[in-house]
Structure 1
Amino acid sequence: MKSVIKKEIRPHSFAAWMAFMRPKTFWIAAAPVCVGTAFAGALAGTWNLWIFLFTLLGAVSIQAMSNMVNDYAYNLKKAENGTRVGLPRATTEGWISMSAAKKMVGFSIVVCSLFGILLIVIGGLPIACIAVLSLICGFCYMGGPKPIAYTPFGEFLVLVFYGLFAVSGTYWLQTHSFNWLTLVPGLSLGLIGAAVLFVNNYRDLDHDRSVGRYTLVAACGRKLANTLYML
């Protein structure tokens, strides 16, 4: 398989920063917030527009931060060897310098923390736990000495954070209550998000093995991975 065709992008241009943040993935974070808010209106008969917007921006900011850490840390670890299939990474291509990328990652962590504090004020201790864990896992997916991306647990964390926690947490922010029914769409959206990550890792299995990434696909092998993806 050949890598995708690379666009001509000027360093530090708007297109370069968009490649660094990967906004096409934001829907994975936005969808659970929309569903959780809709369930609050349908089941509890209440929802607040401002809380919805703050929750949506908080979720998307964590997704953007995770994408940028992924790009930055991947280049920092020299894990790009030319065999990976998929979208080119902005820092690897020289579209965003490592120093600029590091500053933007730091800025995004501050933004995520501010949204987290705001949502904690609204939702209390349950949201504090989700917000702190989300921020840590968003950074540690590729960052830190032992990135989650190098283990078979990435899909499980996506299921939990982009599904169960995201829908139920949004419902809690709107209603200050928990409803077991929110776990149904939470599980559905979480599985879709996990499937996105799973198929990306399936695509890049050969490359991942060459750089020491032991993903869930690597643990299963392609034959079993086909069945697991369908499930």
Structure 2
Amino acid sequence: MQPIEKDAFKIALNEKKGFHVWWRLLRPHTLTASFIPVFIGTMMATLDQSINFLLFLAMLLASMLIQSATNMFNEYYDFVRGLDNEESVGIGGTIVRDGVQPKTVLQLALIFFIAAMLLGVYICLESSWWVCAIGLVCMLFGYLYTGGPYPLAYTPFGELFAGFFMGTIIIGISYYIQTLSVTGTVLLISVPISIFIGTIMLSNNIRDLKGDEENGRKTIAILIGHNNAVNLLGASFVASYLITFVYIIIGIFPLWSMIAFLSIKKAWEAFNGFKGKTKNIEMMSAMKATAQTNTIYGLLLGLSLLLQLIFSFTL
């Protein structure tokens, strides 16, 4: 990279020193994938009974700690395997650009896992020890996403596993710890959320397609090519909104949930942001828009459930 190009690259990344280094390591724009499922699962529980707010906070923090640790494992193992360098985008850059020791990143990830486990003990004491077993499985897959001999992120199944564990499982646990039960309706509701979470991973793989292919990865974006992957992203958005509409029609979601369709504009922005782009830095805004789609959709959907609860009290 030439000096002028390198300066332009740094400006485009807008990376700052100090606290910002550690904040970037968490990849905050992706944390919506852990916040939204906990929020939706808890809001579903409010429709059936009153909730324990401390349990909600503990579950929320534990989920965000696990995802942050997963992001750190990603940073560490991609560096160890030689996949990240100073020109890599979409990463915290703490190792390759800020000079943080790889060992420090790994240790911090383990500390986050331990903190999540301590919160898990409290959650289990207030609900059931079965949650502990499921939580440990989630943590294992969080590690195996980029750690271990066969990282899931390097296969065509990364989006599927991410959507299932961070969507269906987290929503199910969030509902269960409040009600000590899981219904088929809760599992159905997790489907569009899981798809949206999968799109965040897919958008990441679309952006990094060229670099991932050069390093031997076999993501779905690589296997089907850029244009087809962008079309798959668009089809995933359509599927999530179509499922939401069907759920409203058959009564799984309240009519209030129509407000979730206000997020379509951001989904359209994400889809168009990937079309015709060839450089990963050009696609950063599109990936950000994909994560924002999940955030806006999830918040509006959760709000619709809360409105339904408030409306039922006034009848």
Considering the TM-score relative to the shorter chain, is it more than 0.5? Answer: yes
TM-score by length of 2: 0.67
Out of 15, 20, 30, the position equivalent to 1:25 is: 30
Letter in 1 for 2:55: I
Corresponding residue for 1:55?
59
Higher helix share: 2
Whole-Å separation in 2 of the counterparts to 1:190 and 1:229: 13
Greater relative contact order (CA < 8 Å, ≥ 6 in sequence): 1
8 Å CA contact 1:163–1:185 kept in 2: the answer is: no
1:122 lines up with 2:129 in the alignment: no
Corresponding residue for 2:223?
219
8 Å CA contact 1:3–1:86 kept in 2: the answer is: no
Partner of 2:150, secondary structure, is: coil
Whole-Å separation in 2 of the counterparts to 1:92 and 1:15: 15
Whole-Å separation in 2 of the counterparts to 1:82 and 1:211: 16
Whole-Å separation in 2 of the counterparts to 1:95 and 1:19: 14
Percent identity, please.
26
8 Å CA contact 2:37–2:171 kept in 1: the answer is: yes
Residues 133-142 or 87-96, more deviating: 87-96
Corresponding residue for 2:100?
96
Letter in 1 for 2:40: V
Show structure 1 runs of 5+ residues with no match.
none
Whole-Å separation in 1 of the counterparts to 2:230 and 2:75: 27
Q: RMSD of aligned C-alpha atoms?
A: 2.0
Whole-Å separation in 2 of the counterparts to 1:173 and 1:8: 39
Change (3 A) 1:66 1:87: closer
8 Å CA contact 1:150–1:214 kept in 2: the answer is: yes
1:191 lines up with 2:198 in the alignment: no
1:168 lines up with 2:175 in the alignment: no
8 Å CA contact 2:79–2:85 kept in 1: the answer is: no
**Offset from partner CA, 1:176-204 (integer Å, 9 cap, x none):** 01111112331111111100110110111
Whole-Å separation in 2 of the counterparts to 1:121 and 1:206: 47
TM-score by length of 1: 0.90
Whole-Å separation in 2 of the counterparts to 1:168 and 1:99: 34
1:3, CA displacement in angstroms? 5.6
Out of 54, 69, 72, the position equivalent to 1:68 is: 72
Residues 205-214 or 86-95, more deviating: 86-95
8 Å CA contact 2:77–2:146 kept in 1: the answer is: yes
Q: How many residues align?
A: 227
1:162, CA displacement in angstroms? 1.6
1:47, CA displacement in angstroms? 0.9
Out of 201, 205, 217, the position equivalent to 1:201 is: 205
1:139 lines up with 2:143 in the alignment: yes
Letter in 1 for 2:84: E
